[in-house]
Homo-oligomer: A and B are copies of this chain.
Amino acid sequence: MIEPVVLKGFRDSLPKDEIPKKKIIRKLEDVFTSFGFSPIDTPVLEYTDVLLGKGGGETDKQIFRFKDNGGRDVAMRFDLTVPFARFMAAHHSEVGVPFKRYHISKVWRGENPQKGRYREFIQCDFDIVGADNTLSDVEILSMMHTSFAALGIERYTFHISHRGLFSLFLASIGIEDKSIEVLRTVDKLRKIGEDEVRKLLTEITGDEGKANAVISYITAGDGKDFMATLETLEELSGGKSEPSSRMREIYNVLTQLGIEKSFTFDPSITRGLDYYTGIVYETFLDDLPSIGSVCSGGRYNDLASLYMKEKTPGVGSSIGLDRLLAALEELQSPLLKDTAEADIMIVPQSGKEGEALKTASMLRQRGLNVSMYLIPDAKMKKIYAAAETAKVPYLLTFGESSFTVKNLNTRESMEGEEAINQILKEREN
């Protein structure tokens, strides 16, 4: 006998988890489609050097990498960004630019599993490539806003900043050459706190004054509204600039759309990765900030430089679906509660299978999801237990000439057609 175990950091998804996950993915897909974003897919396995590029460091150790039967050095994708870059290089003339794609799929990282972190998880990425302007920046932000609304999440804030503005500031105090280390340090603010960041920045810059200046910059948004923060940062970074006008334009358009209240200018958002060049953003749930950002991204200068000469600037965002699901669960979201496997369960009788199946088919044609209890003449106790496990609210049993439907919550019963009309009416509400 083999023990039916899964690998460390991996897990099965049971109907109670898979049903809401699929509903959420559908809602997101519907939003993306309504914005004219197209789905793509790429292979799970790729040549290792295609996935790692010149990269290396941390990612190297974390990937599932091996030699296939043909001796090729291959690896499982660890994100959806690198495969998208490779995809754009391979297909840019077929798909044309600007190109808007989404990709919802699994990725794998061999990192040590912690609470809420797994070695196999779902990413949900959406990007616009081939356009560098306010319009596409706002398009992505507005799509994030629409997505959260579609998921019924009400209390959240998009924290937005501009990497170019921060670079101007770093240049103005003469530490632009340390920018990568500074960015990575600032990115840890939420995790390690202001004092620790100040200490690290002092080590990096060798100058406590400069460390304090950076702290002033990244905390300049505290308690201030968007435009006031922008004006302060404009001053700190040496006056009006292309990045500051872009931020002003973005805010104006968000205001015209009437969604500006969901956005806060938070200069501590830098994103650790050094490929961002314009806006960067993270999303926090007001009632569960500790879970971290559930939707992050930004503008990059060039997506596919590893694979092609043409520049493909873009702006994109990524929803950590598993983290979002964990958050929704903790927040007891109604989205996760609707895990009924069907609207009604049919109790069949031996020798009358045809009648049961025909009734099921008739109810399906009227729009109901119908689960047949697949053992005729079973004990009612077993059937009730099955209905409860599957969270099915109604039970249909056959009588002499008609059928009876019992509401398992109220214990009320109704006959034939009347019962079906009642269920259909309830579903409409």
What is the interface of chain A, defined by CB distance below 8 A to chain B? 1-8, 10-15, 18-19, 22, 26, 29, 33-47, 49-50, 53, 61, 64, 66-70, 72, 74, 76, 86-87, 89-91, 94-96, 98, 100-101, 106, 108, 110, 120, 128, 130-131, 133-136, 138-139, 142, 146, 249, 252-253, 256-257, 304, 306-309, 341-342, 345, 348, 353-358, 360-361, 364, 368-376, 385-386, 389-390, 392
Closest chain B residue, CB of each to CB of A142? B357
Closest chain B residue, CB of each to CB of A53? B2
Residue among A36, A106, A138, A354 with most chain B CB within 10 A: A36
| The residue from B7, B40, B369 contacting A74, defined by CB atoms under 8 A apart | B7
Bound-state Cα–Cα, A2 to B7, Å? 33
- Report A161 CB to chain B, min CB distance, Å: 21
Copies of this subunit = 2
- Report A93 CB to chain B, min CB distance, Å: 10
What are 15 A-B pairs with beta-carbon distances under 8 A?
A5-B50, A7-B46, A12-B42, A35-B364, A35-B370, A36-B345, A36-B390, A43-B120, A45-B108, A64-B66, A66-B66, A69-B110, A98-B374, A98-B375, A253-B354
Contact at B139–A357, with CB atoms within 8 Å? yes
| The residue from B133, B309, B353 contacting A375, defined by CB atoms under 8 A apart | B133
Find chain B residues with CB under 8 A from A95 CB: 14-15, 389
Bound-state Cα–Cα, A19 to B369, Å? 25
Given A6-B46, A133-B374, A135-B356, 5 further pairs, Cβ under 8 A: A10-B45, A11-B43, A34-B368, A43-B120, A253-B357
